[in-house]
Structure 1
């Protein structure tokens, strides 16, 4: 499994388009969106810090889903079938995708934080930087599983497109592009059901209260476990077809 993870990371590192879209684009969005909302202050957080955390969440979500949906291409190329002829356990293949997603989430998050520090003058304590980084990194787990579910459930040539069609609404409805606090009441209520909202909110809580509490992490964990069960079912179904 270690060799499989390393091989995929090397392949993705050579994919310039993938890196620019999934890692570079959220940085651009952060620089633009922090200017759009200007001097607005939400719950004691200025918009540079607020949008930095929101775009870090967006980047983590998009890269995690993109890694998962690559399973569609591998199914199309027959790579899944080839791996099943090796001693590699089926669960290792699934877990390797989640590990790759988490490995890419970290530099994505750090790059956005670096842009906030260097270009927007964002200032946080060491504990806030660390807490926000861990919240975004671990909060990305459900989205890697969402990508896998898409890659295993739809036609292989449709997985990438559907992945985009999923994470863009999650970003919009989860309050990553527009703060939940200025959304209409029913939209704000709906946002708090989505893992995308809590991905950013758990990080923001490190600035507001010093800790995300229990509610946010529990929502993220619930989404992860539910989606993991779905992926396990889809993987067994896909295996039975071979």
Structure 2
């Protein structure tokens, strides 16, 4: 399992597209939108920063799903999955070995984007333990959905299209782009059914209000529940994915 994890980490480190989606583009969005919205004198700078930095961090954490889908579809169509299935390696170890690197990438992404916010915009961090727990749960959620999608979709393009719908649609309806109180009532009502809303709500509680684990327990519980749904779908659907793999 750990050999698969290390191999996957090395491959991802050489993937320039992954670097672009994970680090470069989010920073460009953060800088651009803070520059646009900070022009108004009525806008509280700290509130703006604590909306945009965690908001775009949450949004771009879901783009890891593209890399997960591409990795699994390539190995399925290239025969790698079938060859591994013929070895004594348990299926769950292969599956988890592929999963761990993507979780690490999302965690590193969160660290980099929040560090950028601290260094450039004096982003307040609040309680470190709460940030760590919430970030791990967010990484689990985004990657579990990616794993589920990877074993369900038939092509890379289908996975990329679905990722954009989930990431961008969830960002728009979940209040990641702008505060929900500036949006129509039906969007404010819809947002509470989306994990993106709860992730941002947890981060803002920590950063703006000095919240602790006890203050964000509902956000953690909801995100964990969504993540477990994705994980269950991924494990249940894996045998079907295995049957589709080319030998």
User: Normalised by the shorter chain, which TM-score bucket?
Assistant: 0.7 to 0.9
Give unpaired runs (5+ residues) of structure 2.
none
TM-score, reference length from structure 2: 0.86
C-alpha distance in structure 1 between counterparts of 2:44 and 2:80, whole Å: 50
Aligned partner of 2:239 in structure 1 is: 236
Aligned partner of 1:87 in structure 2 is: 88
Aligned partner of 1:210 in structure 2 is: 211
Aligned partner of 1:199 in structure 2 is: 199
TM-score, reference length from structure 1: 0.88
1:94 Cα shift?
A: 2.4
C-alpha distance in structure 2 between counterparts of 1:192 and 1:18, whole Å: 30
Q: Give a deviation string over 1:176-227, Cα, whole Å, max 9, x none.
A: 1222232211111211111122222222211225124322112112111222
1:133 Cα shift?
A: 4.2
C-alpha distance in structure 2 between counterparts of 1:187 and 1:24, whole Å: 29
Aligned Cα RMSD in Å?
A: 2.2
| Partner secondary structure for residue 175 of structure 2 | coil
1:164 Cα shift?
A: 2.7
C-alpha distance in structure 1 between counterparts of 2:122 and 2:11, whole Å: 34
Change beyond 3 A, Cα 1:236–1:200: same
Contact 1:68 1:146 in 2 (8 A): no
C-alpha distance in structure 1 between counterparts of 2:220 and 2:99, whole Å: 18
1:3 Cα shift?
A: 0.8
C-alpha distance in structure 2 between counterparts of 1:221 and 1:117, whole Å: 27
| Partner secondary structure for residue 232 of structure 1 | helix
Give unpaired runs (5+ residues) of structure 1.
none
Aligned partner of 1:109 in structure 2 is: 110
C-alpha distance in structure 2 between counterparts of 1:142 and 1:217, whole Å: 10
The within-5 A match list for 1:213-228 is 213-228=216-231
Runs of 4+ in 1 over 3 A off after TM superposition: none
Q: Does 1:181 align with 2:181?
A: yes
| Partner secondary structure for residue 220 of structure 1 | helix
| Partner secondary structure for residue 81 of structure 2 | helix
Aligned partner of 2:150 in structure 1 is: 151
C-alpha distance in structure 2 between counterparts of 1:75 and 1:142, whole Å: 23
Aligned partner of 1:51 in structure 2 is: 52
Change beyond 3 A, Cα 1:58–1:22: same
Contact 1:75 1:156 in 2 (8 A): no
Aligned partner of 2:138 in structure 1 is: 139
